[in-house]
Amino acid sequence: MPSPVPPLPPAPYVKACINGARTPDQHAGLPVSPEQLAAAAVAAHAAGAMAVHLHPKTAAGVDSLEPETVGAAVSAVRHALPGLPLGVTTGFWALPDPQRRLRAVESWTVLPDFASVNWHEPGAQDLAELLLSRGIGVEAGIFHADAAESWASSPLAPHCLRVMIELPPDGDTATADDLLARIRRAESPAPVLLHGLDDSCWPLLAHAGLRGVQTRIGLEDTVLLPDGSPAPGNAELVAAAFDVLRTVSL
């Protein structure tokens, strides 16, 4: 009898982060309006992204947590891609007051599937509790060792949808591995996602592939392709990410 064909390895999990806190002057194709966000999400999903993270923005391209802005963005993407997991930011820079931020999120009428909470920001745990109480998944953003330890000791750690190691442009693989070890000691069932920003984006995406953790890519994290050329848009970045991940898995 012929030998059984071994199963194919699972596809890497890549989330598209389609705009971030960037402004339109940083990339001509940065999606801002609900219609632009929906089109970018459709293109990123067609390129292979399994979920989308976005920053709802005002017409001026500024991040906003106000219910009208969040609702319009989420509704547009949901209409274009029913069923695609969709998340939004709760970044403190968008509303730098812990209580006002809580009230804004409490007033959301159109709910995303998940929201990112940067664990080092003021009021992060209260915000995570509110999101969970509303049925919104929490992605814990871990920027440094103190945040990792704080998250690992939190009673909310087992209930997070995902924990993200998020490193700055000068972030390196040693720092990523240190944070990964701290997070894993918490024994949370939440999957880990690793990503970088600008100069660290592509090296850390490749490292995520080597470590077998989730990753993300999009105009939030970089405006350049791996060869240093300008990225036309999110779809091209997602396609390039899968090329990189296939290379490191060989």
Q: Is residue 3 part of a domain?
A: no
Q: Is the distance from CB of 183 to CB of 142 less than 8 angstroms? A: yes
Q: What is the pLDDT of residue 67?
A: 98
Kindly give the confidence (pLDDT) of every residue in the chain, 250 residues in length, as a single tens digit, with 9 standing for 90 and above: 555 545 445 679 999 999 999 999 999 999 999 999 999 999 999 999 999 999 999 999 999 999 999 999 999 999 999 999 999 999 999 999 999 999 999 999 999 999 999 999 999 999 999 999 999 999 999 999 999 999 999 999 999 999 999 999 999 999 999 999 999 999 999 999 999 999 999 999 999 999 999 999 999 999 999 999 999 999 999 999 999 999 997 6
Residues 6+ apart with CB under 8 A from 41: 16, 18, 52, 54, 77, 80, 81, 84, 86
Q: What is the pLDDT of residue 249?
A: 73
Q: Is residue 59 part of a domain?
A: yes
Q: Is residue 18 part of a domain?
A: yes
Q: Is residue 88 part of a domain?
A: yes
Closest CA to 15 of 190, 139, 176: 139
**C-alpha span between 127 and 139 (Å, rounded):** 11
CATH (domain of 33): 3.20.20.70
Strands 86-88 vs 137-142: parallel, antiparallel or unpaired: unpaired
Q: What is the pLDDT of residue 8?
A: 44
**C-alpha span between 29 and 219 (Å, rounded):** 9
Phi-psi label, residue 207: left if phi above 0, alpha if psi -120 to 50, beta otherwise: alpha
Q: Is residue 8 part of a domain?
A: no
Q: Is residue 162 part of a domain?
A: yes
Q: Is the distance from CB of 208 to CB of 215 less than 8 angstroms? A: yes
Q: Is residue 20 part of a domain?
A: yes
Q: What is the pLDDT of residue 11?
A: 75
Residue 116: strand pairing partners? 139
- Domain range enclosing 137: 14-249
Give the three-class secondary structure for 181: helix
**C-alpha span between 84 and 208 (Å, rounded):** 23
Q: Is residue 6 part of a domain?
A: no
Q: How many domains does the chain have?
A: 1
Q: What is the pLDDT of residue 176?
A: 98
Question: What predicted TM-score, i.e. pTM, was given to this entire model?
Answer: 0.94
